Amino acid sequence: MKRTFGEAAVEVTEGDITEQEVDAIVNAANSTLLGGGGVDGAIHRAGGPAILAECKTLGGCKTGDAKITTGGNLPANHVIHTAGPVYRDGKSGESEFLASCHTRSLAIVREYKLRTIAFPAISCGVYGYPIPDAARIAMRTVVKELEQHGGIDLVRFVLFDRPTYAEFARALESVRGTNGS
């Protein structure tokens, strides 16, 4: 599924984020940036040791922030590592942290003059964020950023399974841009 907001396309697809041919992929990292399970482990395995070597120089990453490294052996030239929130009760600032993960990642894309980016479902694995809520937050945040700042051609959400894809597709279908699109 794909929609356009301003000059940027927002796309939802089911697949493997490590295979995406975009300028940067986003890693749903932990705050140490030293690898882990899920998407984080898959990116480190596919990208090779250059990613971890660079991560070791970054001093970790606060929840809601993002940092960039090489893409190593990945098709993407860069990995943007963002530390998503652990879901507790939905009343502990989780939505603000999750929105910030997307905002900060897009800010880095613009800073490095990149044009295309692929996101996973940040915090939806072992961090326990409810997928429908995460999808709505991700879509609202990305559309708002694209409309306010531009400079990005494609934001792709790459989801690991059919149920997660369905929630993100539903969120993309229902999100409204400022121009009513």
**Chain segment 100-127, per-residue pLDDT in tens:** 999 999 999 999 999 999 999 999 999 9
Name the residue range of residue 46's domain.
2-174
Residue 180 in domain? no
Residue 74 in domain? yes
Nearest to 157 by CA among 59, 52, 22: 22
Which pLDDT value is given to residue 181?
Answer: 55
Q: Report the catalytic residues.
A: 40
Residue 98 in domain? yes
Do residues 26 and 118 touch, judged by C-beta distance below 8 A? yes
Residue 89 in domain? yes
Q: 38 Cβ partners below 8 Å, 6+ apart? A: 28, 125, 126
Q: How many residues comprise the chain?
A: 181
Residue 181 in domain? no
Which pLDDT value is given to residue 6?
Answer: 85
pLDDT digits (tens, 9 = 90+) for 129-143: 999 999 999 999 999
Secondary structure letter of residue 131 according to DSSP: H
Which pLDDT value is given to residue 176?
Answer: 85
Tokens for 131, please give them. Answer: 């997928």
pTM over 0.85: yes
CA 125 to chain centre: 13
Residue 148 in domain? yes
Here the CATH number for the domain that contains residue 117 is: 3.40.220.10
Cα dihedral 28→76→50→30 (10° resolution)? 0
Tokens for 173, please give them. Answer: 């279908």
Tokens for 138, please give them. Answer: 């991700």
Residue 179 in domain? no
Count of domains for the chain:
1
* Tens-binned pLDDT, residue by residue, of the chain (181 aa): 999 998 899 999 999 999 999 999 999 999 999 988 899 999 999 999 999 999 999 999 999 999 999 999 999 999 999 999 999 999 999 999 999 999 999 999 999 999 999 999 999 999 999 999 999 999 999 999 999 998 999 999 999 999 999 999 999 999 987 655 5
Which pLDDT value is given to residue 46?
Answer: 97
